[in-house]
């Protein structure tokens, strides 16, 4: 059976490009012939909307439905309710129902393992599963990190995210110590990069100096561009919306780096967990 790699796209900081990256990496991988499932793990349902399902609250089967089924041990078809996007990715959608599920998780048995248990039922159908995390380090993100083989951290290249990164790296260490010893950090993806400003350049340098020895930083950098912001309301990827743009090229380069794998420089040890 072919191996499936599950990647959580994670940063508790809001608006750093997690959803845009999940969508364009997912479709980038599908364009390279990979079987891809993207999972919307944010009750805002942004990934679901970006992929073209505008009325998220009318979607009958969502990630919350699937996770409830696991918690209640209901026998159902794990593949039912998975949506198919015409650019070749499958989607497990979400809406505000996931908010209630997250609260419910707090008291559930094996609460960090629910998403993993579900994804284990469908992962043989895929080469990659990408989980778009919500901007917090709550139960849903802990479920994503427990289900994942690795984490990609989009970082907005406009200020030094020192505190948020330290918190995130500590959370990854805790997850490694408690629920997922093999979790790796694949790397930091610099997003919303404005190459014209000195601030962006010095911030990119500062991110490299501060975290480059601990976590790999992808060579590809995603430029800030109006087209990238527009595409999120079009229901299609940047490759379909603006194929010749710098953002499309950057996401294609990033996709190639992800395909070539690489977990080098990941020196975070579970012993670091506090």
Ligand X SMILES: Nc1ncnc2c1ncn2[C@@H]1O[C@H](COP(=O)(O)OP(=O)(O)OP(=O)(O)O)[C@@H](O)[C@H]1O
The residues binding ligand X (CB under 6 A) are 14-20, 42, 46, 135, 191-192, 222, 224-225, 228-229, 232, 247
d(CA 228, CA 222) in angstroms, rounded, equals 9
Calculate ∠ Cα 167-152-78, nearest 5°: 110
Is residue 12 a contact partner of residue 141, using CB atoms and an 8 Å limit? Answer: yes
CB of 261 to ligand X, least distance (A): 24
Q: What does the CA dihedral 4, 12, 133, 175 come to, rounded to 10 degrees?
A: 50
Q: What does the CA dihedral 102, 103, 106, 108 come to, rounded to 10 degrees?
A: -80
Q: Which does 162 bind (CB under 5 to 8 A by kind): Mg ion, ligand X, none?
A: none
Binding residue for Mg ion (CB under 5 A) from 40, 46, 69, 186? 46
Q: Enumerate residues 163-202 that contact Mg ion by CB under 5 A.
A: none
d(CA 10, CA 135) in angstroms, rounded, equals 8
Is the CB of 127 or the CB of 223 nearer to ligand X? 223
Which of 19-27, 86-94, 238-246, 251-259 is the region at the interface with Mg ion (rule: CB under 5 A)? 19-27
Instruction: Give residue 243's Cα distance to chain centre.
Output: 22
Binding-residue total with Mg ion (CB under 5 A): 3
Q: Which does 20 bind (CB under 5 to 8 A by kind): Mg ion, ligand X, none?
A: ligand X
Q: Which residues bind Mg ion (CB under 5 A)?
A: 18-19, 46
């Amino acid at each position: 059976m072919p191996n499936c790699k599950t990647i959580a796209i994670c940063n508790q900081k809001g608006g750093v490009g997690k959803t845009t990256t999940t969508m364009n990496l997912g479709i980038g991988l599908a364009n390279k012939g990979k079987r891809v499932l993207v999972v919307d793990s944010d009750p805002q349902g942004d990934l679901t909307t970006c992929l073209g399902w505008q009325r998220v609250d009318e979607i009958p089967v969502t990630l919350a439905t699937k996770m409830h089924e696991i918690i209640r041990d209901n026998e159902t078809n794990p593949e039912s309710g998975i949506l198919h996007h015409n650019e070749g990715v499958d989607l497990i959608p979400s809406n505000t129902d996931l908010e209630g599920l997250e609260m419910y998780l707090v008291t559930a048995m094996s609460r960090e393992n629910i998403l993993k248990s579900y994804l284990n039922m469908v992962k043989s159908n895929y080469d990659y599963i990408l989980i778009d995390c919500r901007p917090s380090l709550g139960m849903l993100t802990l479920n994503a990190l427990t289900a994942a083989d690795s984490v990609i951290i989009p970082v907005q290249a406009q200020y030094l995210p020192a505190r948020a990164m330290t918190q995130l790296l500590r959370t990854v260490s805790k997850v490694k110590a408690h629920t997922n010893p093999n979790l790796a950090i694949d790397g930091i993806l610099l997003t919303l990069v404005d190459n014209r400003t000195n601030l962006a350049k010095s911030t990119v340098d500062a991110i490299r100096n501060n975290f480059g020895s601990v976590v790999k930083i992808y060579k590809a950098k995603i430029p800030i561009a109006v087209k990238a912001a527009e595409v999120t309301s079009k229901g299609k990827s940047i490759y379909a919306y603006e194929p010749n743009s710098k953002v499309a090229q950057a996401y294609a380069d990033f996709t190639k780096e992800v395909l070539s794998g690489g977990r080098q420089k990941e020196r975070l040890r579970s012993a670091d967990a506090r």
